[in-house]
Structure 1
Amino acid sequence: MFKRLSVALVCAAAFALSGCAQPWQGFTRGQDQSALVARLGPPREIYDLPDGGKRLMWPTQPMGEETTAADVDSAGKIVTARQVLQPSEFYKAQIGTWTKQDVLVNFGRPVETAYFPLMKREVWTYRYLEDNVWYQLYHFYFDQQGILRLTQKTPDPLHEPERDRLF
């Protein structure tokens, strides 16, 4: 009896988890962009792409760790849909080549910006979840001409238990 109950619970849990599709999943290449809007609502950010298409974005920042991005062609058909706030996407950034505009188009508006006068660098920060476990911040450092010079990831202090301790 216990074994049957265990098997039933495992099957129920697997079935429940299989229905937890992420917002960027379930779209097919060639589908009309209206499918995106129907499921995700109007995009909060829209950027022009070099090939005449558009990048549509649904960020969860400032407190969330995900940004769904969908590229659509000039006819309004889906090319890709994905979560862009993740290491595999961040690592595409090219030091010395990318500009602020490149970072903006690829990741959307940052959760925070700052300027470090001694370094003469402007920093854009994005909140993300690495490996579905680690809450991180990813930082892009730009020189005075707006060229990407450095990237860095750090733990997100918002989720660090030490921040609640009194010294």
Structure 2
Amino acid sequence: MQLKQGPTRWLVAVGAAVSAVLSAGCDVRNISELKEGVSTEAEVRARFGQPEAIWEAPGGGHVLEYNRNPAGHVNYMITIGPDGRMTALRQVLTPENFARIQPGMMMEQVRRLLGKPARQTPYPLKRESAWDWRYLQPPNTSMVFTVWFNEDWRVVRTATAPDPEAPENRGGGGGR
């Protein structure tokens, strides 16, 4: 059974890596084909597909949420103005956005800022839940940003750490 588990894990890891690379390549091409103030919502959806969520935008319009976690390291928020044209396209998993997450913020505020997390882990005995987002610290270090919420879904604390699932952060020890 150990022999089957090793190759299966390897295949899953390779599949996730290939998916992330292909998605990143497609994203770069899709982003280059879209122009702020010109591209329409229909063009955005044709390139990015169905959004994970749709949020109201200040001043009218709405924001389309596109997630690339857990396999990728980015989440996109694409703002569509009241006229139906794209007004902004931004990758939201950045240190600047992480710094905006403060104790007391509501879960929905965090979700609107960072998008869907890669993982949600409940800690019932502590009455907390931890949400993780994977991102790249330049030039290419895989990291995890974690937000802990209390039972009222308010931010308690945050932390940043190396991504334990990244190949460069895994311990040796074979399984060949």
TM-score tier (shorter)? 0.7 to 0.9
Q: Distance in 2 between matches of 1:148 and 1:22?
A: 36
Equivalenced residue count is 147
TM-score (norm 1): 0.74
Q: Distance in 2 between matches of 1:22 and 1:118?
A: 46
Rg larger in 1 or in 2? 1
Aligned pair partner of 2:80 in 72, 78, 85: 72
Q: Distance in 2 between matches of 1:158 and 1:110?
A: 15
Change (3 A) 1:133 1:90: same
The amino acid that maps onto 1:92 is R
Confirm or deny: 8 A CA contact 1:25 1:82 kept in the other structure: no
**2:55 match: secondary structure:** strand
**1:39 match: secondary structure:** helix
Confirm or deny: 8 A CA contact 1:139 1:152 kept in the other structure: yes
Structure 2 partner of 1:89: 97
Structure 2 gap segments, 5+ residues each = 1-26
Q: Once the two structures are aligned, what percentage of the paired residues are identical?
A: 24
Aligned pair partner of 1:99 in 106, 116, 121: 106
Q: Distance in 2 between matches of 1:25 and 1:122?
A: 37
**1:106 match: secondary structure:** helix
- Compute the displacement of 1:36 (Å): 1.5
Confirm or deny: 8 A CA contact 1:136 1:156 kept in the other structure: yes
Residue 129 of structure 1 pairs with residue 136 of structure 2: yes
Structure 1 gap segments, 5+ residues each = 1-19
The amino acid that maps onto 2:67 is P
TM-score (norm 2): 0.71
- Compute the displacement of 1:112 (Å): 0.9
- Compute the displacement of 1:132 (Å): 3.5
The amino acid that maps onto 2:109 is D
The amino acid that maps onto 1:142 is F
